[in-house]
Every structure is written in C-alpha cells, then in structure tokens.
Amino acid sequence: MDRNENTPRLNIEDILLFDETLFRDSTAFDPAYIPEDYKYRDAQMGALAMCIRPALKKGKPSNAVILGPCASGKTTAIKKIFELVEKNSNKVVCCHVNCQTNNTPFSIISQIHQKVIGFKPPQTGSPLTKAYDSVMNKLSENEKALVVALDDVQYLFQRNHANTVFYDILKAHETYPNVKTSVFAIVSEIEFRYLLDKSVNSVFIPQEIVFQPYTHNEISNILNDRVRIGFYPNVISEEVVDEIIDTTSEIGDLRVGINLLRLCGNIAESEASKKITITHLEQAMNESEDIGLNSILKGLTNKERLVLKYISMIDETYTAGELFEYITEKEKISYATYDRALNKLEFLRLIDLNFTGKGKVGNSRLITLRFSPEQINNCLI
Ligand SMILES: Nc1ncnc2c1ncn2[C@@H]1O[C@H](COP(=O)(O)OP(=O)(O)O)[C@@H](O)[C@H]1O
Ligand SMILES: [Mg+2]
C-alpha cells in the first residue's frame, strides 16, 4: 500500500518526550520508594531509636532482631531511621546491607568499608582482613560507633557465613580500643535465632522488634496515600482502588497492591486512556505473576515450602541428590517426603527437573527454578 504523502511521519522524539501521562510521580510505585508519610510504625521506629540512642552519647548501640512478614515495612523503617540518625549525629555510622546481593563476608565488609571510609576496599592481598582492619581503625580513630543492618539476613545462612559475620562485627571491641558496634538482623523467620552458633548467641543479645502484618484498613490507607502521590487526581476510580485493596489484603502483601497500581496505570497509558478502568485492572491482574505465584504457594505444605526455600537460596545448579544432602545437614526431612515435594513443585511448574543421564535416576535430576529467587522469597513469607 502506498503511503499517503500527507500522513505525518512518526517522530521518534515525540514518542520519547510524549508527556501526557497519568502518573504524577511514577517513582511512587518503585520497590525502593521511601514514603515520606510512614504510618503505623511509630512504635517500631521508637524502639529502633532506643537501640541507637546510646551511640549518640558515646555509648554502645544495642543489637536488634527485626521480625515481620514480607512487605511489613522493615526495610523502610531501617532506611528512615538511619537517615534520621545521620542527619542528627556524626558519631554513628549506619550501614544498611542487603544480604541477598551481599552474601559473603567480603562483600559485607566492602559495603561497610564504603560507608565508613568512602570507597570500596582493594581486592588484593588478604582483602577481608585488611578491609576489616581499616574499617575498625578508622572508627576507633574518629570515635564513631557502627550499626550494621543485615537485611534479609537469611541469605547469609546459605553458605554458613552468618556466624562469622556477626562474630567479626560484634567482637571488634576486643581488638580495637573504643570501637562500639551493633548488629540489626532483619528477618522474616521467627526461628532465626536458633540458627546462630552458641558463641554468637552469647554476644548477640538482641532487642526484638516485631512488625505485625498490616490490617485491611491500614493497607487501604497506605495504598490510597500512594495513589494520591503517584497519579494525577481522578485518574483512577475508587472502585478500582478498592478492588486492589481487597486483593492485596487477601494476599497479605502490600507489594502486590503497589505493583498492581503501577501495572494498571501503564496499561491504561499504553492505550492512551485518560482513566484507569476495571478492564485495565483485570489485564494487570493477568499480567501480575506475583498474584498467581502467591496463590500457588499458599497451597503448599510446610515441607514443600521448605524445599522450595532451599532451592531459591542456592545460587548454583544442584542435582536432587546434592540438594537432599544439603538440606538434611540443617533440617529433618525424609527422602520420601523430599522426593514427593520435588515432584509436586515440578507439577506446579515452580521448578524444572531434568535428567542428567548420570548416576541414579532420581538423584541425578538437575533442579532449575522457574522464577527468580526474589519472587519466590517475596511470596513465601
Ligand atoms: N507504613 C507504610 N506506609 C507506606 N508505605 C509502606 C509502609 N510499609 C510498607 N510500605 C511500602 O511497602 C513496600 C514494602 O515495604 P518494605 O519496607 O520493603 O517491607 P519489608 O522490608 O518488610 O519486606 C514498600 O514499597 C514500602 O514503601
Ligand atoms: Mg525488606
């Protein structure tokens, strides 16, 4: 077909700069967004402040365990309190470490080095000892306390690094004069404490700070706040928002709601619609893997969840036999139960099992996770 001479040519710049948008602030739906108005967590923020307060007066900060289900605001609370502390005192260095991305002693000390000294440590020589030594000397010299928040600390247990990391941070005062350190362990598992060695438990005596799941009403207010920040007025109807609130509350994960808001906004925008309708929401729900995943995971038994959790924690490919050995070092589970769990996870298309053709048939199956470990962990809790 001949192109009509009068048809305006598609202008790529127009597409890039097209600014008719439903989003007043699209960052409001980013996973790392820190809400200015952080409701319902005053008690927890107060407890965190109490742990850090001694350090502002040259004392030792307390240790803490921060417990609560996924999306209950743990990471947000830490980021907010650390920001407040650093704004008000130069006597405390607060270091937030994401243990999912930093799960070895060296990568953790690198993060601390970056925060205390201002750059990443060199990787040569005996890098861990040198980096540790530089950090502690610097703190000692400047008479600064150190609070390290180990976020999603369960990832440190996968290669048994947790004990070393806790011990090294907490025992620093024995070697470096005047160094005062504490650890905030952020976890979603209640039984976490029993995973630490006795020697660590004797130096890590934490305050327990619990983040309860949000109620329906709290979820409603938080999501409505987010709508006001993220969208222009009257873009999204109350009906759509209420539907999102109900789904979020049913699943019990605030992230699902925030994600749905973003998704249905994107869909409406891609159709050049000036409003977000229930049809856009339905499309968003179909696209949202988290919702499907959440409902599948809800139907798993505790043992099946346990096996899936271990699969999501290992970062190499294991065979079924290797994984069984690995799990039974830490947990009690019979081979029959384990095998049934693997088959069910495969049936539900959460994992793939591929025969390698070597060794015993059952044990030599290679396990591959069909979702990202992060997606699984976000939904498992
Ligand atoms: N009280 C709150 N007010 C506003 N937003 C919140 C609140 N609690 C959590 N959120 C939002 O929910 C999401 C998950 O919070 P996060 O702190 O990452 O939870 P956790 O670390 O417990 O998994 C983030 O987008 C965060 O902004
Ligand atoms: Mg978190």
pLDDT digits (tens, 9 = 90+) for 83-113: 999 999 999 999 999 998 898 999 999 999 9
- Look at residue 193 in the predicted model and tell me its pLDDT: 64
- Decide if domain 42-210 falls under CATH 3.40.50.300: yes
Does the beta carbon of 344 sit less than 6 angstroms from any atom of ligand 1?
Answer: no
Does the beta carbon of 76 sit less than 6 angstroms from any atom of ligand 1?
Answer: yes
Classify domain 297-380 at the CATH topology level.
Arc Repressor Mutant, subunit A (1.10.10)
Residue 64 pLDDT class (50, 70, 90 cuts) = very high
Residue 34 pLDDT class (50, 70, 90 cuts) = very high
Does the beta carbon of 41 sit less than 6 angstroms from any atom of ligand 1?
Answer: yes
Q: What residue's CA is closest to ligand 1, atom 25?
A: 31
Over range 345-350, report the average pLDDT: 88
Higher pLDDT, 257 or 192: 257
Q: How far is the CA of 155 from the centre of ligand 1 (A)?
A: 20
Task: Reply yes or no on whether the pLDDT at 2 is more than 50.
Answer: no
- Look at residue 371 in the predicted model and tell me its pLDDT: 87
Percent of the chain exceeding pLDDT 70 equals 91
- Look at residue 347 in the predicted model and tell me its pLDDT: 84
Q: How far is the CA of 71 from the centre of ligand 2 (A)?
A: 7
Does the beta carbon of 220 sit less than 6 angstroms from any atom of ligand 1?
Answer: no
Over range 144-154, report the average pLDDT: 94
Please state, in angstroms and rounded to a whole number, the distance separating the CA atoms of residues 227 and 239.
13
Lowest mean pLDDT among 136-140, 201-205, 356-360: 356-360
CATH of domain 216-287: 1.10.8.60
Q: Ligand 1 pocket test: which of 254, 255, 379 has the largest number of ligand atoms within 8 Å of its C-beta?
A: 254
Residue 334 pLDDT class (50, 70, 90 cuts) = very high
Tell which atom from ligand 1 comes closest to the C-alpha of 76: 17
Domain borders along the chain are: 42-210, 216-287, 297-380
Does the beta carbon of 75 sit less than 6 angstroms from any atom of ligand 1?
Answer: yes
Tell which atom from ligand 1 comes closest to the C-alpha of 30: 25
- Beta-bridged to residue 151, according to DSSP, are 98, 186
Does the beta carbon of 230 sit less than 6 angstroms from any atom of ligand 1?
Answer: no
Q: Ligand 1 pocket test: which of 70, 75, 76 has the largest number of ligand atoms within 8 Å of its C-beta?
A: 76
Does the beta carbon of 71 sit less than 6 angstroms from any atom of ligand 1?
Answer: yes
Residue in the structure block whose two tokens are 């400047």: 142
- Look at residue 377 in the predicted model and tell me its pLDDT: 79
Percent of the chain exceeding pLDDT 90 equals 65
Residue 170 pLDDT class (50, 70, 90 cuts) = very high
- Look at residue 308 in the predicted model and tell me its pLDDT: 94
**289-298 helix and 254-270 helix, angle to the nearest 10 degrees:** 150
DSSP state of 23: B
Q: How far is the CA of 34 from the centre of ligand 1 (A)?
A: 8
pTM of the model: 0.81
Task: Reply yes or no on whether the pLDDT at 218 is more than 90.
Answer: yes
Tell which atom from ligand 1 comes closest to the C-alpha of 225: 4
Over range 139-167, report the average pLDDT: 90
Average model confidence (pLDDT) across the chain: 89
Residue 274: which residues within 8 A CB-CB, separation 6 or more?
22, 235
In 282-301, which positions are buried (b, 16+ CB within 10 angstroms) versus exposed (e)?
ebbbeebebbebbeebeebe
Lowest mean pLDDT among 161-165, 175-179, 296-300, 356-360: 356-360
Over range 361-366, report the average pLDDT: 78
- Look at residue 17 in the predicted model and tell me its pLDDT: 62
- Look at residue 364 in the predicted model and tell me its pLDDT: 82
User: Which residues, by Cβ under 5 Å, contact ligand 2, an ion?
Assistant: 75
Task: Reply yes or no on whether the pLDDT at 8 is more than 70.
Answer: no
Over range 341-354, report the average pLDDT: 89
Please state, in angstroms and rounded to a whole number, the distance separating the CA atoms of residues 164 and 181.
15
Lowest mean pLDDT among 103-107, 274-278, 307-311, 360-364: 360-364
Q: How far is the CA of 32 from the centre of ligand 2 (A)?
A: 10
Residue in the structure block whose two tokens are 């941070």: 169
Tell which atom from ligand 1 comes closest to the C-alpha of 34: 27
Over range 239-246, report the average pLDDT: 97
Tell which atom from ligand 1 comes closest to the C-alpha of 72: 22
Over range 318-329, report the average pLDDT: 93
Lowest mean pLDDT among 15-24, 226-235, 241-250, 262-271: 15-24
Does the beta carbon of 326 sit less than 6 angstroms from any atom of ligand 1?
Answer: no
Q: What residue's CA is closest to ligand 1, atom 3?
A: 38
Higher pLDDT, 76 or 252: 76
Does the beta carbon of 96 sit less than 6 angstroms from any atom of ligand 1?
Answer: no
Q: What residue's CA is closest to ligand 1, atom 24?
A: 31
Task: Reply yes or no on whether the pLDDT at 5 is more than 80.
Answer: no
Tell which atom from ligand 1 comes closest to the C-alpha of 381: 23
Residue 1 pLDDT class (50, 70, 90 cuts) = very low
- Look at residue 9 in the predicted model and tell me its pLDDT: 64
Please state, in angstroms and rounded to a whole number, the distance separating the CA atoms of residues 156 and 111.
15
Torsional sign, CA 58, 59, 60, 63:
negative
Does the beta carbon of 255 sit less than 6 angstroms from any atom of ligand 1?
Answer: yes
Q: What residue's CA is closest to ligand 1, atom 11?
A: 73
